[in-house]
Structure 1
């Protein structure tokens, strides 16, 4: 009996130690949200919140209540995680070469080398490895959005002409806006009671703002928009490139003015005209005559194989063993330029995807660029000539088409994000 009692006590002691050990593990880290078949951990949330707090302190902005900040950050992380999961299933990746090119571009915008920029990031208390992966995730999400949303946007020639000939179109080409934004979100299929509740909330926010409440602080605490943690600051944009709902309202607003709530499928929007200026007066634009080679992945070719093939062809062109034109005719996967030896003609900024334009603008005339990645595959290009061209009717049409596409893209993006959020399984455990 004594031996049995001793065994039982030993078992209970071990069980107690095991329970305590498990409790300690839960304290160290726990799940704060389940997103489909993945999870967001407390440590991830804390790291992101700490980074946001650092940004607020660096900008001398007052912090919102801790719980509000945690909820805002977690909601942003959930949307990011859903998109990264979709990108993974769609085979969208960003290789180290493309990532380094993007980081080099960020460093160049800050007048630094990549090494200097990395040192600055570390000096601000951030992990360079984590910063790199965050930039990679942002690039993956951008490519997913371009692939998923751009196909939903169609602009006809008739729409372009009608826009250019309208009074609104002419006025939009004469102004740039810097807008602040607050969104009171409405779920899809909302009941009349939910709509009324959201409308009352939006009207109350407008009254507080017009009564002197700080717009940025209110946005952080109240907005459901993607820039809430930035105080709702949407930055500068030509008037013609804002979503139609925003542009038609903002065109007559003065600096400092707060709009009435604007209803869209996403909810109620509140705008602040932070600043406006005359714009769009340029009559000269830099154009580039470009050739390129594109290698794509497909059912038989992986991304790694496509990148290796692009690098092989690039090396041959750089060594002079084959011309870029011949490489394009033999190997390029761009059906529009392959038979012309990769010739794209004169390219005006705004015609190509951002990664292509960035490489085009940074490559000296007569030189072959490094291999780089876009949503279409792996490219390298040659800038044959560069010129300054007068702004023509054709260019104005292109600018109008871009503006309409930008408007529609932003509108469709918000709808698409709402759809994907509604389709996903999300279990928030923030308060458990």
Structure 2
């Protein structure tokens, strides 16, 4: 064989190896999570998305290595929960997803088409955005099923809370808090705890010396909102975990708390803002609904179709709402009264129901939508501004206690799932 022929044959034999090497260079595993993997390309895409959000808000980006580590930790927790949801059979179909997206669009005074155009003009892929929202909905349903069902509040606890110092203050203030967490691992040794405390004390000193809280949270916090600058948003005083509310109740705008110790680690809070809760009037909505549940004999698709047929018959005037609720609704508490739920305030219902209630014009049927209880449609019959009554105070106290317990239990539950999972970080 001529010399050039041998060279050509050698090159041809090497082509598969070269192609394989090229593929390996294009992507690689950065984390193994149980029986799944997170690829470098997935991490790069998420980092790019979050970096764009930082730039749009005018916020300073953390160092690249810190950013990648924070984002990967968030993706690991998401992947663990999505795997749990898959094993539990928790899914979000296209109908529910479209309704959620339409609700987000309405809140921004847009149609769904306008909202999609806006997302794309901001540089995001609409299909990827849809799937991200779907995953968030799946995780939310998993958390509700796994955590919320464990929380039970008694009337005695409500009475005790309303008579407590915090209960008396719950209508007096809303807090907007920032949060930094230095996590202490489970079964930590004294040296681990000592190192975590030392790190937290160093961060606290930097903050007292004028360091930017948001930037420090992004780069150093182990909290769930680290990539949001530690911003936990607004919440009534009584709805914060008691560790936070007790520390924040006397803080002024801009104040930094002392170190707070919990089972999760060391916390630092910033009072971003606070506002008095002197309002004595609350907006309430008179609502009725029809619920169709799934069960051993009824699939989610069948329940949805059944609810849709009832919805369409009522909309055409073939069947009255009252009669349909009495005959077909699976909500025993309201079916006998024509689906009437009475006067409902914000916070009384699960998020999907509340969102649909707030976005449905008075006197019109909502679309069919899904919650953890099954498939619903509703009608808002009236709206009023009511004086804060004892009944409302009790419902708000109940909601505050549930939310406080839920936040505490959720953090513990997420850590339990993380500790029980097999995770191999290869960043």
TM-score by length of 2: 0.95
**Residue from 26, 29, 34 that aligns with 2:27:** 29
Which of 183, 207, 210 pairs up with 1:209?
207
Match of 2:53 in 1: 55
Tell me the CA shift for residue 349 of structure 1: 2.2
CA contact 2:248–2:271 (8 Å) conserved in 1: yes
Consecutive unaligned residues of structure 1, counting only runs of 5 or more, are none
Q: Residues 103 and 359 of structure 2 are in contact (CA less than 8 Å); yes or no, is this contact kept in structure 1?
A: no
Aligned pair count reads 427
Q: CA deviation digits over 1:35-72, x for unaligned, max 9?
A: 11211111111110001111111122111111110010
Structure 1 CA distance, aligned partners of 2:382 and 2:257? Answer: 47
SS at match of 1:288: strand
Equivalent residue, structure 2, for 1:284: 281
Q: Matched residues in 2 for 1:33 and 1:8: separation? A: 42
**Aligned position for 1:371:** 368
Q: Shift of residue 15 of structure 1?
A: 4.9
How big is the shift at 1:300?
A: 2.3
Matched, 1:309 2:306: yes
Alpha-carbon displacement from aligned partner over 1:257-302 (angstroms, at most 9, x marks no partner): 11122111211111011111212x2222222232211112222222
CA distance in 1, matches of 2:338, 2:30: 54
* Matches for 1:133-148 after TM superposition, within 5 Å: 133-148=131-146
* Contact 2:197–2:266 (8 Å) recurs in 1: yes
* Alignment correspondent of 1:125: 123
Stretch moving more, 406-415 or 82-91: 82-91
After TM superposition, the structure 1 = structure 2 runs for residues 141-290 of structure 1, keeping only pairs within 5 Å, are 141-279=139-277, 281-290=278-287
Distance 1:336 1:263 in 2: 43
Instruction: Tell me, yes or no, if the aligned pair for 1:285 and 1:391 is still in contact at 8 Å.
Output: yes
Q: Distance in 1 between matches of 2:110 and 2:362?
A: 23
- From 314, 328, 333, give the equivalent of 1:336: 333
Aligned partners of 1:108, 1:303: CA distance in 2, in Å? 26
Alignment partners' CA distance in 2, 1:404 and 1:8: 79
- The answer to whether residue 306 in structure 2 is matched with residue 346 in structure 1 is no
Partner of 2:147: helix, strand, or coil? helix
SS where residue 333 of structure 1 aligns?
A: coil
Q: Which residue of 404, 409, 412 corresponds with 1:407?
A: 404
Partners of 2:301 and 2:26 in 1: how far apart?
A: 38
Contact kept? 1:175, 1:238, Cα under 8 Å: yes
Matched, 1:383 2:380: yes
Q: Determine the C-alpha separation between the residues in 2 that align with 1:283 and 1:357.
A: 21
SS in 2 for 1:388: strand
How far off is 1:13 after superposition? 4.9
- 1:346-382 deviations in whole A, cap 9, x for unaligned? 2222211111112222223332211011111110112
The question of 1:356 aligning with 2:366 is answered no
Describe the superposition over 1:184-237 as per-residue Cα deviations: whole angstroms up to 9, x where unpaired.
111112122111111111111101111111111110110011110111111111
For the structure 1 residues 11 and 334, does the alpha-carbon distance in structure 2 shift closer, same or farther, using more than 3 Å as the test?
farther
Any conservation in 2 of the 1:172–1:251 contact (CA below 8 Å)? no
Cα RMSD (Å): 2.0
CA contact under 8 A between 1:176 and 1:278: conserved in structure 2?
yes
Shift of 1:246: 0.3
* 3-state SS of 1:43 partner: helix
The answer to which of 213-222 and 161-170 deviates more is 161-170
- Cα-to-partner distance string for 1:125-146 (whole Å, 9 max, x where unaligned): 1101111111111111111111
In 2, Cα distance between the equivalents of 1:155 and 1:97? 34
Question: 8 Å contact 2:106–2:359 — kept in the other structure?
Answer: no
Uncovered stretches (5+) of structure 2, i.e. residues with no partner: none
